[in-house]
Amino acid sequence: MNKELIEALDLLEKEKNISKATLLEAIENSLLTACKNHFGKADNVKVVINPETGDFSVYAEKEVVEEVEDPVMQISLAEAKMKDPKYDIGDLVQNPIESKSFGRIATQNAKNVILQKIREEERNMQFNEWYRKEKDLVTGIVQRYLGKNVSINLGKVDAILNEAEQVKGEVFKPTERVKVYVLEVKDAPKGPRISVSRTHPDLVKRLFEEEVTEVKEGIVEIKAIAREAGSRTKIAVWSNDANVDPVGACVGMNGARVNSIVNELRGEKIDIIIWDDNPAFLIENALSPAKVICVVADEDAREAQVIVPDYQLSLAIGKEGQNARLAARLTGYKIDIKSETQAREQGLFEKMGIDYQEEGVYDELPADFEISAPQEDYPTDLSGEEA
């Protein structure tokens, strides 16, 4: 029987990843519980289990006294000397307890203690496993809609994709595989409660880490992300290796890498730009695909004035201001965009200390400003005439 016990413990350890020591401790506690239920108390009960053979013994330590007042805690001198003549008043006698003598209720309670311990350990293991995956990317299978929320199976546990974390317009079908970002893992009586997201900006970052080897290895670094889920994302990347083009690495051969991510995001557009420590150049890059005439950035106020060719104004601002809004989030600057005509009419070139020439050449700016100005000339309108 003891051999079967050890085999059962080994099997539980393998299947549920619960250590044998923990299971033996649960058995020890169950025996103590049975003693308490049988005798009314178990303060003096000791349990010894051999982890190799499964042999166990249960005994009660009783004090030797002249007159027994508590038979659970005390033993008479005469009875003690029957066990061993060397015992005297005040000694402790180890009195064996036969577990077979326990009643049905005590035995059932002991069984419940073991099962409860196994469930607790299994829940703790699941929680710790998923807590380590917090802020990471996982793949799940869509189960069903719970109202407007979605239940997603992640293997042994289910996660909840709340309505607020769903991309507007995305519809999921049962058994569909979907990648989600683990927002938060909480401990709960019935197992870990996992919240996931499809809108979090770091979802895009994790997808690039999964798809682009250079990002995963740290050669290419994602410096900033701005996202409007379901519509457009801008990411700024930087290479720690001069021989590696960060944008090219993220785009991949014929766009294979970025297209894989776009497909996972169901058509969400992704703009990949080069990070620059100079805020003016960074803002110029962030407004891509629009071209700019110049950028003047005030680092202290975190504000920037951008002037673009007339025909690029709508592109720079974007539909409903999206391009400018994402560029502002990406850079952390408040960006004011003006067309070349507006800049001339408002005298912005003079206010910014720029001697604007028709060839696109500028005099030196004040020391506390930074400017980004392409060397090429820009047309002023769609007719193709040069500025």
pLDDT digits over 303-312, tens only?
A: 999 999 999 9
What architecture is the 278-387 domain classified under in CATH? 2-Layer Sandwich (3.30)
Q: Which fold has domain 2-130?
A: N Utilization Substance Protein A; Chain:P; domain 4 (3.30.1480)
Which helix (DSSP H) or strand (DSSP E) does residue 160 occupy? strand 158-161
pLDDT digits over 356-387, tens only?
A: 654 444 444 444 545 454 434 333 333 333 33
Cβ distance 250 to 216 under 8 Å? no
DSSP assigned state of 254: G
Asked if the domains at 2-130 and 278-387 fall in one CATH topology, the answer is no
- Per-residue model confidence (pLDDT) at position 80: 79
pLDDT digits over 140-196, tens only?
A: 999 999 999 999 999 889 999 999 999 998 999 999 999 999 999 998 888 899 999
Q: How, if at all, do strands 74-76 and 56-65 pair?
A: parallel
For the chain, the straight-line distance linking the first and the last C-alpha, in angstroms and rounded, comes to 95
- Per-residue model confidence (pLDDT) at position 51: 73
Q: What 3-state class would DSSP assign to 275?
A: coil
Q: For the domain covering 135-197, report its CATH number.
A: 2.40.50.140
pLDDT digits over 318-342, tens only?
A: 999 999 999 999 999 999 999 989 9
DSSP assigned state of 198: S
Q: Which amino acid is at 296?
A: V
Question: In the beta sheet, which residues pair with residue 238?
Answer: 221
* Mean pLDDT of all residues in 112-117: 75
**Does CATH number 3.30.70.20 belong to domain 200-275?**
no
User: Sign of dihedral through CA atoms 326, 315, 336, 296?
Assistant: positive
What is the percent of the chain where pLDDT is above 70?
83
* Mean pLDDT of all residues in 286-290: 94
Model confidence at 227: pLDDT above 50: yes
- Per-residue model confidence (pLDDT) at position 3: 65
Where along the chain do its domains lie? 2-130, 135-197, 200-275, 278-387
